[in-house]
Structure 1
Amino acid sequence: MRFVLYLLMMIAVALGVGFGLSYYALTDGRLFGVAQVGPWHAWPDVGSSAPNPYTRGHLARTAALELGQAEGLQFTATVDSDGEPLTRNCGYRIDGKTPLATFWTLVAVDEAGINIAAPDVAPAMHSNAIARAPDGSIIINVGTRLLPQNWLELTGEGPFKLVLTLYDTAAFSGFSSDASMPSIVRRDCA
């Protein structure tokens, strides 16, 4: 009887650990195929002809139409540079340089992936439509309240994520020496 009880406990532990690690690999994946640069993370194998098994699992789980490896790379941030979750009751400043790319877009989406830009404004920031600092760096303010300079106005309440899509980029390909990503700094909160 004791043997059967131990056997059932070992099976339960094995199933719990196995399914738990599988779920972690497909949702968070930081240890299994995600490239993390500050608060930004990306799945660099998404557009390759033979992605690793974790990337294939992630693609099957999200069912999203992704860019090919030669087309670009998408970075997502759900936390600021201090590790605090992004929330719409706070304002944020995106500051720094992006990796070398022909074009990039920055969009804010909710947890369901729906764009949360305010109505009657541009739904995304574009690299060709922003004012830059003299050194080429960007400063973009993100929030629900009016902020100076480049501003991505949001609407609603609750958590959100920022999606930075780099088109025609050499990031993570070995050809680019510029692997820096802009920081996300929390400003005032309501």
Structure 2
Amino acid sequence: MTAFSEKVATEAEDALDLNDRNRELGRVRLIRDIILFIVVAVGLGIGSSYLAINNADKLAVFKVGPWHAWPDASSPKANPYSKADQARRGSLMLGSAEGIAFVAETDDEGTPLDGGCQYRITGSELPARIWTVTLANMNGTLVENPSERFGYHSQNVARINGSEFEIVTGPDVSGGDWLKSEANKPFKLIFRLYETPHASGDGYSEIRLPQIAWMSCQ
């Protein structure tokens, strides 16, 4: 074999080796891209599901002042994320035939409720056979207090001028109807209407729910 032939053969072998390396490198890159795509897709799926479940309370919500409610949360029309959120929390929403629950986490001015402050809750007659109001921590637990008073209902709340009522919340005992809050901890108020014609959300804008007015802070 002449020197020229040997050179040609060597170059051909080098070209084949280069092609083989390029093909192998292409396969490695393809596998890497597939794995990266799967990881990103799974991550986005899990992340979006997590956000949807943890923010399910913002889906299908309607508001009346600082109060908000989810009329379809326990109905067959409830979205799957709301159902998953209820299962995760172990919570049981009122059925549409039973009533509707409103939650407030701010006062009338939109400021988050602070357990170290005093608030005045005022209202009058409401379109329901009976209503209840409860104070709870943000995780839903009741606030321990010596009087073991955790809420009021339409049959035991003190009346002013026959139909109006006033409840004060705060960390220190107050005269009249009072609910204890924990100092320097946020809290929420739960207002439930039982056997109301507005349980499905129809006419909810006409409901005059209690006002929540800030009084003072420690």
TM bin (shorter chain): 0.7 to 0.9
Q: SS in structure 2 opposite 1:57? A: helix
On the 8 A contact 1:118/1:155 being kept in 2, the answer is: no
Give 1:182's aligned residue. 210
Answer with 159-168 or 172-181: which moved more.
172-181
- Matched residue count: 189
Please say if residues 94 and 183 of structure 1, whose CA atoms lie closer than 8 Å, have aligned partners that are also in contact.
Answer: yes
2:194 is the counterpart of 1:171: no
Q: Is the aligned partner of 1:92 residue 2:119?
A: yes
Match of 1:186, as an amino acid? W
**Deviation string, structure 1 residues 100-146 (Cα, Å, up to 9, x no partner):** 11112211111332110412232211111112233723321111223
Name the structure 2 match of 1:154.
181
Name the counterpart of 1:83.
110
Q: CA RMSD in A?
A: 3.2
In the alignment, what sits opposite 2:14? Answer: none
SS at 1:185's partner residue?
Answer: strand
Which of structures 1 and 2 has the bigger CA Rg?
Answer: 2
Q: State how far apart, in whole Å, the 1-side matches of 2:42 and 2:126 are.
A: 41
Identity of aligned residues (%): 36
Shift of 1:60: 2.7
Given that 1:130 and 1:150 are in contact with CA atoms closer than 8 Å, whether structure 2 keeps it comes out as yes
In the alignment, structure 1 residue 103 sits paired with structure 2 residue 123 = no
**Aligned mates of 2:144, 2:65 — CA distance in 1:** 24
Counterpart of 1:59 in structure 2 is: 86
1:34 is aligned to 2:36: no
CA apart distance, 1:22: 4.5
Contact 1:172 1:179 in 2 (8 A): no
Return the offset for 1:148: 3.6
Q: Structure 1: any 5+ residue segments left out of the alignment?
A: none
Moved over 6 A (4+): 14-18
* 2:57–2:70 contact (8 Å) kept in structure 1: no
Find the counterpart in structure 1 of residue 159 from structure 2: 132
Which residue in the other structure is 2:8 paired with? Answer: none
CA, structure 1 residues 28+148, in 2 after alignment: closer, same or farther (shift >3 Å)? farther
Contiguous gaps of at least 5 residues in structure 2: 1-28
2:167 counterpart letter in structure 1: I
**Amino acid paired to 1:106:** V
2:142 aligned to 115, 127, 147, which one?
Answer: 115
Structure showing the higher helix proportion among its residues: 2
Q: Is the 8 A contact 1:98 1:181 kept in 2?
A: no
Task: Give the counterpart letter for 2:152 in structure 1.
Answer: M
Deviations 1:66-115 (A, max 9, x none): 22211121111111121211111100111234641111221111133211
Q: CA 1:58 to 1:107, structure 2 compared with 1: closer, same or farther past 3 Å?
A: same
Contact 2:99 2:199 in 1 (8 A): no
